[in-house]
Chains A and B, each alone.
Chain A
Amino acid sequence: MVERTPLLNFFTHLILFIGFVFCVAPFLIVAIAASHNLKDVNDVPMSLLPGSDFWINIKTAWVTADLGPKLLNSFIVAGGVAAGKVIISALTAFSIVYFRFPGRMFMFWLIFITLMLPLEVRIVPTYAVVANVLSPYQAILDLTGLSWLIEKVSGVQVSLNLGLLNSYPGLILPLVATATGTFLYRQFFLTLPDELTEAARMDGAGPLRFFIDILLPLSRNNMAALGTIMFLWAWNQYLWPLLITTDQSHAMAVTELKQLIPNVGGTPEWHIAMAGTLIIMLPPLLVVVLMQRWIVRGLVATEK
């Protein structure tokens, strides 16, 4: 800034550099370990000069953990969650901000409360719901006596059953069912001037037209920011996919890491484990590097 502080500057550089090293080191170590062979990777300390087996290890890890389909699943789920959030949150925020129907504030609070309880703390019952996603509705029909009524009238026994275990909707929908994005849009809509709405209405635009032609184009930045952080968040989910994908066909990349932990007996195959880790951490890392601006923006705006 304005003054000369050589000593302080020296320490600033020193500390930042140390921070930099600690931040990058794990990435480097993973990449280097992934290039060694079984003997070299278990040397103490491991040589920091890259070995020559990089592609062989990558290929082995790819095959062992069957990463091709798993990465595809991760892309589908993360993309689905990001798209779902971007669309559904925009609709809800529009409804909350631009209309005055009765029960609006109640709805606002209903949605707000979902911010408080992350999926991790209510996994057990959520799992039961996903096993039969219509069970809440069945229970309501049973409790209100409606299913009894229907059975009497039509002779059909009501048993709603739709299992979502081992399916993309089962992976995606519970992750979309929070309020994170809604408040990002809400805050943004509230900053838009009333004159904009007035002008649109004077030109004869109804709510749908206003939403599609004015609000959505203006929200482009928010959508990019929200989409990016939701993609990362969903890609990195672990507990939920672990629970509901009992069948390998829908497993995600991150849950496959467990298959890569080396066995205790024998010489541990760390080179394969690290090659797998590298493959799995690469897509989100690329997103962070390429979408940095949106991530910073999205995080700072959504979490407020």
Chain B
Amino acid sequence: MEKRVTFSSWTIGILFAVPQLLLIFTFFYWPAGQAVYWSLTLQQPWGGGNIWVGLDNFRSILVNADYWNSITASLVFAGISTGLAMFIALVLAALTDRQLAGSRLYRVVLIWPYGIAAPALALAFRFILAPEAGFLSVVNRMWPGIWDPGLDGADAMASIIVAFSWKYVGYNFIFFLAAFQAIPRSLIEAAAMDGSGVIRRFWDIQFPLITPTIFFLLVINITESFQDSFGIVDIMTSGGPANATNLMVYKIYSDGFKGLDYSGAAAQSIILMLLIILLTIFQFRFIERRVHYG
């Protein structure tokens, strides 16, 4: 899509783009290139020489059981929390869109979780789900030792999934509700006149019309589950117990900055970048098809 009428003086046009280009060169392209270079060399943490090692860094990561454990944990986390956050948000948005009494209130309140910083809600959930105080500790009174995120990997994973999903229900709700409200009312009224009920209308009209939103959110939720999970993991579990919640970004951080293994961390970053680029390309192909400029 292009403008027919433009300005002929190039200088101003180019000058206007300079700040952005400088920023992305310095803080995006250079570091990204650096990551590729580091991943192919053996980097000394405190400067000094570096040795070209080709793909050795990748090889040593890919044979490392800890790394595969981290990938599995990330995928489990991404799968369950995305499914949970999207399903709950979809149901709530569809019901809010029925516009019964009180729907205005829900429309306002249900997006609140979106505004909360992941680490802040993580601390709140750490308390709510704590084994010795808070609320879930009640189950430990009845069956001692049944719930302990500090010792049991599955419990820890469940805790971070709950915290992440809680925030992203709010996020997804915004998009789903916007998508439902974009469906012309006349379409639904016409179907109602033809005698189809609420549920039938949902499956035959609304659901097909919001599939682009579903797809879009699927990609966003998965990508966010890789990034936004860092604060939650750091506050709630620190990757433990026994690496059960050592998600990919957390592992990059702890290997790179705690373990000072820059080359290994860079190689892990590259793998994560490739994963995210793949997802984005996938998403872009779909989105270009449905965006219409006025």
Q: Chain A residues in contact with chain B, CB under 8 A?
A: 1-3, 5, 8-9, 12-13, 15-16, 19-20, 22-24, 26-27, 29-30, 33, 41-46, 88-89, 91-92, 94-101, 104, 107, 110-111, 114-118, 120-130, 133, 136, 173-174, 176-179, 182, 187, 189-191, 194, 197-198, 201, 206-208, 210, 232, 235-236, 238-239, 242-243, 254-255, 257-258, 260-261, 268, 270, 273-274, 276-277, 280-281, 284-285, 287-289, 292, 295-296, 299-300, 303-304
Contacts and interface: CB of A to CB of B under 8 A. Distances in A.
A115 B119 contact: no
B123 interface: yes
A122 B273 contact: yes
Contact of B119 (A24, A96, A257, A292): A257
Contact of A107 (B17, B115, B249): B17
Given A44-B137, A107-B21, A19 B112 contact: no
A27 B125 CA distance: 10
A191 B135 contact: no
Interface in B77-112: 88, 91-92, 95-96, 98-100, 102-103, 105-106, 108-112
Interface in B169-214: 169-171, 174-175, 178, 188-189, 192-193, 197-199
24 contacts: A2-B192, A3-B197, A26-B124, A45-B135, A45-B137, A46-B135, A88-B23, A89-B20, A91-B19, A95-B13, A95-B16, A117-B32, A124-B265, A125-B32, A177-B26, A187-B293, A190-B1, A239-B249, A274-B124, A276-B123, A281-B117, A284-B116, A285-B115, A303-B216
B197 A5 contact: yes
B154 interface: no
Nearest to B106: A16
Interface of B: 1, 3-10, 12-14, 16-17, 19-21, 23-32, 34-35, 38, 88, 91-92, 95-96, 98-100, 102-103, 105-106, 108-128, 130, 132-135, 137-138, 140-141, 166, 169-171, 174-175, 178, 188-189, 192-193, 197-199, 216, 220, 223, 226-227, 230-231, 234-235, 249, 252-253, 256-257, 262, 265-266, 269, 272-273, 276-277, 280, 287, 291, 293-294
B35 A300 contact: no
A284 B135 contact: no
A260 B185 CA distance: 50
A190 B3 contact: yes
B272 A91 contact: no
Contact of B9 (A117, A121, A207, A292): A207
A95 B134 CA distance: 55
B109 A23 contact: yes
A120 B230 contact: yes
Given A19-B92, A42-B133, A122-B269, A284 B235 contact: no
B120 A254 contact: yes
A98 B103 CA distance: 43
A285 B117 CA distance: 10
Contact of B4 (A92, A104, A194, A288): A194
A191 B234 CA distance: 43
Contacts of A27: 112
Most buried by A among B5, B121, B216: B5
Nearest to B141: A44
Which 7 pairs, one residue from A and one from B, show the smallest C-beta to C-beta distance?
Answer: A99-B13, A288-B115, A125-B31, A236-B117, A125-B34, A238-B231, A177-B27
